[in-house]
């Protein structure tokens, strides 16, 4: 799903945007502006350069839009298999619904699947946005 139009609108509204950057087995979130240079990571995904002093503390992020391969009606997400998001947000497992950030998957409706097998390390989504709109999940 192309998030460029959403990012442009958020910038016009004065919002700060952060992009994930691979850092070892997890992700750092670095500031992203229209002037931020991007370089392709080992998976060919454009990301800002690492600059540790400027990374966002995870609990200061309000919302994280997460890519996915598939999702189910319970808020479980199938990613690309690297586990980067699950390791990064492991502290959210078992947290109250209001814990920050809110994790929302971005997908197309055809990516909805029957219930996925859940692993102990999986971090559930708070919702998913598709071309049909936003669906919120009840976190357990």
The residues, any chain, with a CB within 8 Å of residue 11's CB and separated by 6 or more, are: 17, 33, 34
> Would you call 42 a catalytic residue per the annotation?
no
Q: Is 25 helix (H, G, I), strand (E, B) or coil?
A: coil
Q: Is-catalytic flag, 77? A: yes
User: Which position among 12, 59, 73, 77 bears the catalytic label?
Assistant: 77
| Cα-based angle 99, 3, 32 (whole degrees, multiple of 5) | 70
User: Are the C-beta atoms of residues 88 and 64 closer than 8 Å to each other?
Assistant: no
Among residues 86, 87, 93, 112, which one is catalytic? 86
Report cis status (omega within 30 of 0) of the bond before 101: yes
Q: What is the pLDDT of residue 95?
A: 75
- From 87, 93, 100, 122, active-site residue: 122
Q: What is the pLDDT of residues 88-137, one digit of tens each?
A: 999 998 776 667 999 999 999 999 999 999 999 999 999 999 999 999 99
Report percent pLDDT > 70 for the chain: 96
The total domain count for the chain is 1
- Expressed as residue numbers, the domain containing 44 is 4-136
- We report the CATH number of the domain holding residue 84 as 3.40.50.10420
Distance CA 73, CA 113 (A): 8
* Annotation marks residue 122 as catalytic: yes
């Amino acid at each position: 799903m192309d998030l460029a139009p959403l990012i442009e609108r958020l910038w016009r509204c004065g919002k700060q945007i952060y992009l994930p950057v691979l850092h070892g087995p997890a992700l750092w979130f670095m500031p992203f502006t229209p002037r931020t240079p991007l370089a392709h990571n080992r998976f060919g995904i454009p990301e800002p350069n690492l600059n540790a002093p400027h990374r966002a503390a995870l609990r200061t992020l309000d919302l994280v839009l997460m890519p996915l391969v598939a999702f189910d009606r319970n808020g479980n997400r199938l990613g690309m298999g690297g586990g980067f998001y699950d390791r990064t947000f492991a502290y959210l497992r078992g947290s109250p619904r209001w814990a920050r950030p809110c994790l929302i998957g971005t997908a197309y409706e055809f990516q909805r699947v029957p219930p996925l097998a859940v692993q102990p390390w999986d971090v559930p989504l708070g919702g998913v946005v598709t071309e049909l709109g936003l669906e919120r999940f009840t976190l357990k």
